[in-house]
């Protein structure tokens, strides 16, 4: 076994006033063990800050890329599908028994509500709101065009023009009621994406229609 030689303190001449000391290294089993305590430590702080800046850059770049990718996908979907085709003209009968179409409201805004006269609670509440909207807009005078609330029944079996006339007068003289045959109402429902069906009849033959909806087709062409 190789002997371990201890560090020797050697004197050497120096250019200074006093002697200088030099430490010889440890030598053990053929390996040189130097004193590293006196060497400066490696500063890791710049590496930490560099890693943080790099990570922040990657995150910012990834977020920007994802945002651009989502925007491209949104434009692609809009170009593929466009706006849904909802609405169109119709030929029905108003509550006075006169033929009525969307062109009959030329130059006016039409707020169209789908319901039925035997509706117990929802339809009356919605029609009151419908009339109130029209009245408020008329009072503000913010638009030159008149807003006409229109009630369109989907109960073609029971809601004749006379029944509709009695119904709409309970809400407002400005409320227009429309009805028609099954074929005419089915056509309007398809144009405006309305689903409706009659519920089961009771012992008196009464039933509840299960769908209603509000649409604002816009102003009829002048």
6 inside domain: no
38 inside domain: no
33 inside domain: no
Q: What is the CATH number of the domain that holds 110?
A: 3.40.30.10
92 touches 178 (CB < 8 A)? yes
Domain coverage including residue 128? 91-219
pTM (whole model) above 0.75: no
34 inside domain: no
| The two three-digit tokens of residue 190, written as one number | 């398809």
Number of separate domains in the chain: 1
216 touches 110 (CB < 8 A)? yes
Distance CA 179, CA 163 (A): 10
55 touches 61 (CB < 8 A)? no
* Rg of the chain on CA atoms, in Å: 43
163 touches 81 (CB < 8 A)? no
151 touches 168 (CB < 8 A)? yes
Ligand-binding annotation for 119, yes or no, is yes
For residue range 86-117, list pLDDT tens digits in order. 788 999 999 999 999 988 998 888 889 999 99
Q: Which is it for the CA torsion 205, 208, 210, 215, positive or negative?
A: positive
What does the pLDDT profile of the chain (222 residues) look like in tens digits?
444 444 443 434 444 444 444 445 444 444 444 444 445 554 555 545 555 556 555 555 556 656 666 676 666 655 555 556 778 899 999 999 999 998 899 888 888 999 999 888 888 998 999 899 888 888 876 666 688 899 999 999 999 999 999 999 999 999 999 999 999 999 999 998 888 877 666 656 565 555 545 555 554 444
23 inside domain: no
43 inside domain: no
For residue range 199-221, list pLDDT tens digits in order. 666 656 565 555 545 555 554 44
56 inside domain: no
184 inside domain: yes
* Cβ neighbours, 10 Å, residue 29: 9
Distance CA 126, CA 211 (A): 13
């Amino acid at each position: 076994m190789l002997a371990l030689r201890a560090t020797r303190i050697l004197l050497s001449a120096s250019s200074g006033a006093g002697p200088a000391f030099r430490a010889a290294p440890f030598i053990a089993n053929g390996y040189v063990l130097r004193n590293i305590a006196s060497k400066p430590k490696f500063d890791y702080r710049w590496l930490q800050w560099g890693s943080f800046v790099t990570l922040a850059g990657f995150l910012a770049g990834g977020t920007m890329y994802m945002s651009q990718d989502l925007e491209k996908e949104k434009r692609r979907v809009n170009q593929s599908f466009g706006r849904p085709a909802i609405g169109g003209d119709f030929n029905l009968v108003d509550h006075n028994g006169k033929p009525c179409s969307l062109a009959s409201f030329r130059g006016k805004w039409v707020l169209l509500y789908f319901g039925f006269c035997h509706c117990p609670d929802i339809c009356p509440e919605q029609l009151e709101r419908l009339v109130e909207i029209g009245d408020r807009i008329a009072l503000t005078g913010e638009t030159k065009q008149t807003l006409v609330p229109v009630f369109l029944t989907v109960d073609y079996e029971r809601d004749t023009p006379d029944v509709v006339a009695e119904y709409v007068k309970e809400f407002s003289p400005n409320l227009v009621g429309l009805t028609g045959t099954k074929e005419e109402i089915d056509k309007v429902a398809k144009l405006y994406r309305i689903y409706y069906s009659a519920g089961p009849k009771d012992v008196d033959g009464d039933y509840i229609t299960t769908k209603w909806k509000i649409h604002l087709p816009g102003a009829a062409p002048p």
